[in-house]
Chains A and B, each alone.
Chain A
Amino acid sequence: MLHVVNKSPFEKNCLESCARLSQAGSCILLIEDGVYGALADGEACEVVQTCLEDRQVCVLGEDLQARGIEPDRIVSGVEVVDYAGFVKLAVEHPKVQSWL
């Protein structure tokens, strides 16, 4: 399953719930304000690192760029995808859960 998180982990608990309730082997995609969760030195990095142990974690590059976050500032192991990559993930996974 593809899990999409679009809220800042510093303001909402969407990323936390997603991390708790997504299964091993699933994919988590951070978009919009959700990309702040990928900041390597931010407080949400531990949640992301835990997810990376048994899940794929991706972040939308366009949203990183809009927010001035260089790709070298994100948790290592998190994959940067573009809009085409977003579409590919949505097609590859039969179900999508958006943690609004």
Chain B
Amino acid sequence: MSEELQSGIVKKFLYINRRAPHGTNYAQEGLEVALIGAAFDQDVAMAYLDDGVFQLKAGQDTKAIGTKNFSATYRALGDYDVKRVYVERESLERRGLSEDDLMPLVYEDEDDDWEEKPLIHVVSAREMQQIISESDVLLNF
């Protein structure tokens, strides 16, 4: 890893998130690991499918269940130079959700006068196949 970092080889990392956010720790830990990876100047993309799409639901408020509300942390993805967040449309539809139900995530595009652009791309299963197959390193949470 350190040799690769020194040699400047950038690999395409894809973090595949398939778990709902609050019942287990997978979601929070996946997000933290992805942010750490992005801090090491790797090409990091996030994929949300199956129950993972619930992680991006807007309006989460964990006050009443007494756990940390890490849903605000997703907003940091753009700041860590993660420019691609993919959500599978079929997974949303099975759960009665649409793109409008997701939290608005943005990044500032340095190549376009730091304009704020949407981070979330809702994609079909077929597009998701392509995204998975084009990635060099797959990490699952």
Q: A residues bordering B, Cβ < 8 Å?
A: 6-8, 10-11, 32-33, 36, 39-43, 45, 61-63, 65-70, 73
Contacts and interface: CB of A to CB of B under 8 A. Distances in A.
A90 to B, nearest CB: 18
Contact of A11 (B50, B63, B64, B67): B50
A97 to B, nearest CB: 19
B59 interface: yes
B95 interface: yes
Given A6-B23, A33-B23, A66 B60 contact: yes
B32 to A, nearest CB: 19
B20 to A, nearest CB: 5
Given A6-B23, A10-B51, A43 B57 contact: no
A66 B50 contact: no
A68 B22 contact: no
27 contacts: A7-B23, A10-B95, A11-B19, A11-B20, A11-B50, A32-B23, A36-B51, A36-B54, A39-B95, A39-B97, A41-B95, A43-B94, A43-B95, A45-B96, A62-B65, A63-B22, A63-B65, A65-B61, A65-B63, A66-B65, A66-B67, A67-B20, A67-B57, A68-B57, A68-B58, A69-B57, A73-B96
Nearest to A62: B64
Main SS of the interface on chain A?
A: loop
The 7 closest A-B pairs by CB, nearest first: A41-B96, A33-B23, A68-B59, A62-B64, A42-B96, A68-B60, A68-B57
Nearest to A69: B57
Interface residues on B, range: 20 to 34
Given A8-B20, A8-B51, 11 more contacts: A8-B23, A10-B50, A10-B94, A32-B22, A36-B20, A43-B96, A63-B65, A65-B62, A66-B60, A67-B20, A70-B59
Main SS of the interface on chain B?
A: loop
Contacts, number: 70
A33 B22 CA distance: 7
Interface of B: 19-23, 50-51, 54, 57-65, 67, 71, 94-97
A100 B40 CA distance: 40
Nearest to A6: B23
Contacts of B95: 10, 36, 39, 41-43
